Structures are given as structure tokens and as C-alpha cells.
């Protein structure tokens, strides 16, 4: 399963030439990850309130291919590649069919009180494992 999240490039996202800052892609990807969980019925706030834990970015790699520009309408496509001790996501930033950037994101679950790594609680783990795509394993 993939999740598509629309994004408009605003002035605040760009430099004086109207080209999106590299860090804007990180904000857009974060919003898309949050909305993909929300659309599964698994918002971050419920994980914190019910289980005392939350997700953090453990690793992030970005490959930029083409620049996004002021007023572009983009889509951030999120695909779950693996859900186990950590969650691996592939996120693509697209302008129509044109790929602008690819992010590989590893998320870890941490305890809110101790910030120590811990197992992802149910129903998050089961829901994410059920939606693994693109050859990712559910180990």
C-alpha cells in the first residue's frame, strides 16, 4: 500500500530564486508520514497517550533529482518497505509523474519516559506489517 500526500510549494519553502530549500523536502516527508499513519487510524498522539512511546527518525538518506519550485503542486508518496524492530519507508516527492527526490527513512520506537528503544506496540506493528510493499520483509 502506498499513501499519497499533496503538498504545495509556498514562498517560505523557497530561496530568493523560487527553488525549494533542501530542508523543505524533510518537512514535507514528515507531514506525509504523519498523515499516512493517521489515515490508517493510528495517529502519533494515540501512540503517546495509550502506550507511552513515539516514533523517531533513526536514519534518513535523501537523493535529490530535480528542484521543486514556487507554487508547484507536489505529492509525497510513502511506501512501507519493512516493519519489524524498526520501520523502513521509501518516500518519493513527485511533480506529476516526475520524480524530484527519494527519501529512505528508518523509524525507531522509543519509550517516552526513558527515550530507550522499544518494540512498536500493537496495533501499529500489525497494521504496518500488513502494508509492507516493494519486496520489504516483515521480519
Q: What is the pLDDT of residues 83-111, one digit of tens each?
A: 998 999 999 999 999 999 999 999 999 99
Residue 135 lies in a domain: no
The reported pTM is: 0.92
pLDDT band for position 136 (cuts 50, 70, 90): very low
Q: Is the pLDDT of residue 36 over 60?
A: yes
Residue 13 lies in a domain: yes
Identify the CATH number of the domain in which residue 107 sits: 3.10.129.10
Write down the catalytic residue from 4, 13, 15, 134.
15
Q: Is the pLDDT of residue 82 over 90?
A: yes
Q: Would residue 134 show up in a list of annotated catalytic residues for this protein? A: no
Q: How many domains does the chain have?
A: 1
Q: Which residues contact 78 (CB under 8 A, 6 or more apart)?
A: 2, 3, 4, 5, 29, 32, 33, 36, 89, 90, 91
Residue 11 lies in a domain: yes
With a pLDDT cut of 70, the percent of the chain lying above it is: 96
Residue 91 lies in a domain: yes
Residue 137 lies in a domain: no
Q: Which residues contact 26 (CB under 8 A, 6 or more apart)?
A: 60, 62, 103
Residue 110 lies in a domain: yes
Residue 10 lies in a domain: yes
Q: How far is CA 95 from CA 4, 101, 103, 125, in A?
A: 12, 10, 15, 31
**Kind and range of the H or E run holding 18:** none
Q: What is the mean pLDDT of residues 36-43?
A: 93
Locate cell 503538498: which residue? Answer: 7
Residue 136 lies in a domain: no
Instruction: Tell me which residue range forms the domain holding 23.
Output: 2-129
Here the cell at position 42 is 493510528
Mean pLDDT of the chain: 94
Amino acid at each position: 500500500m502506498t499513501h499519497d500526500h499533496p503538498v504545495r510549494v509556498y514562498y517560505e519553502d523557497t530561496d530568493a530564486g523560487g527553488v525549494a530549500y533542501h530542508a523543505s523536502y524533510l518537512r514535507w516527508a514528515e507531514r506525509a508520514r504523519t498523515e499516512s499513519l493517521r489515515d490508517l487510524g493510528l495517529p502519533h498522539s494515540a501512540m503517546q497517550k495509550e502506550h507511552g512511546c513515539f516514533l523517531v527518525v533513526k536514519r534518513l538518506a535523501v537523493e535529490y533529482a530535480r528542484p521543486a519550485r514556487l507554487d508547484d503542486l507536489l505529492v509525497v508518496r510513502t511506501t512501507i518497505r519493512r516493519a519489524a524492530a524498526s520501520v523502513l519507508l521509501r518516500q518519493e516527492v513527485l511533480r506529476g509523474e516526475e520524480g524530484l527526490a527519494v527519501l529512505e527513512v528508518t523509524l525507531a520506537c522509543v519509550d517516552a519516559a526513558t527515550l530507550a528503544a522499544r518494540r512498536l506496540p500493537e496495533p501499529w506493528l500489525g497494521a504496518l506489517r500488513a502494508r509492507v510493499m516493494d519486496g520489504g520483509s516483515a521480519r
